[in-house]
Amino acid sequence: MTAAPRIGVLALQGGVREHLDVLRGLGADAAPVRRAQELRGLDGLVIPGGESSVVDKLSRHFGLADPLRAAIAGGLPVYGTCAGLILLADRLEDAAPGQRSFGGLDATVRRNAFGGQRDSFETDLVMPAVSEQPVRAVFIRAPVVLAVGADVEVLGALPDGEIVAVRQGRLLGTSFHPEVTADHRMHAYFLRELVGWRHEGDAHAPGAGR
């Protein structure tokens, strides 16, 4: 891929603007997605953090849930952060009553695994597949991956072994919020490895592509 990729950011709730800013800063043609027809022609999609049960309800209300499931099943590269990881998981623990996910990622994810807002924290994650240097990660009411299928690659885990970053083919999920830091390597990894496009400023170094 030589032209700038068209990347949508699901814009029903959550940190939409921050993801748009990062993607545009890396050279992608990024736009919010609120309607099913806006999924057409995308090279990739980001599902931002927020409240997963609210995004689930709104996606059904606006007729986006089934088109999203179809796009994921059809191979659209998708990166889910925090609530987005929950929405990509095939199996949920501690889900809200009646909550559904879009699915596609062969993983079991627990919502709010680290507690509430006041239990938020930051750390550096060793993620060799993403970068030679640790990646800065911010956890805000974050989920955790409890179990993964045979085809899921674990990209990052906390020192106690809790899984917080995974990839399965064209699906990428992280428990943390890369859009709120100056470290844009997760977005660059998504564009490079899943979408198949590399910005000329992309490098495996902190803040690359800023």
* Whole-prediction pTM: 0.92
pLDDT for res 120: 77
Q: Which of 19, 177, 184, 199 is catalytic?
A: 177
Q: Which of 19, 38, 51, 82 is catalytic?
A: 82
pLDDT for res 2: 73
- Known catalytic residue at 187: no
Q: What is the pLDDT of residues 83-94, one digit of tens each?
A: 999 999 999 998
Q: What is the pLDDT of residues 109-166, one digit of tens each?
A: 998 777 655 557 899 999 999 999 999 999 988 999 999 999 999 999 999 999 999 9
pLDDT for res 198: 75
- DSSP state for residue 8 in the 8-state scheme: E
List of residues 6+ apart from 23 with CB closer than 8 A = 7, 9, 30, 46, 187, 191
Q: Is residue 65 part of a domain?
A: yes
- Known catalytic residue at 93: no
Q: Is residue 206 part of a domain?
A: no
pLDDT band at residue 172 under the 50/70/90 scheme: very high
Please state the rounded mean pLDDT for residues 159-179.
96
Query: Which domain does 28 fall in, by range?
Result: 6-195
Q: Is residue 112 part of a domain?
A: yes
Domain count, the chain: 1
Q: Which of 179, 184, 187, 199 is catalytic?
A: 179
Q: What is the pLDDT of residues 184-195, one digit of tens each?
A: 999 999 999 999
- Known catalytic residue at 179: yes
Q: Is 85 in contact with 175 (CB distance < 8 Å)?
A: yes
Residue 159, number of CB atoms within 10 A of its CB: 8
pLDDT for res 115: 64
CATH number, position 45: 3.40.50.880
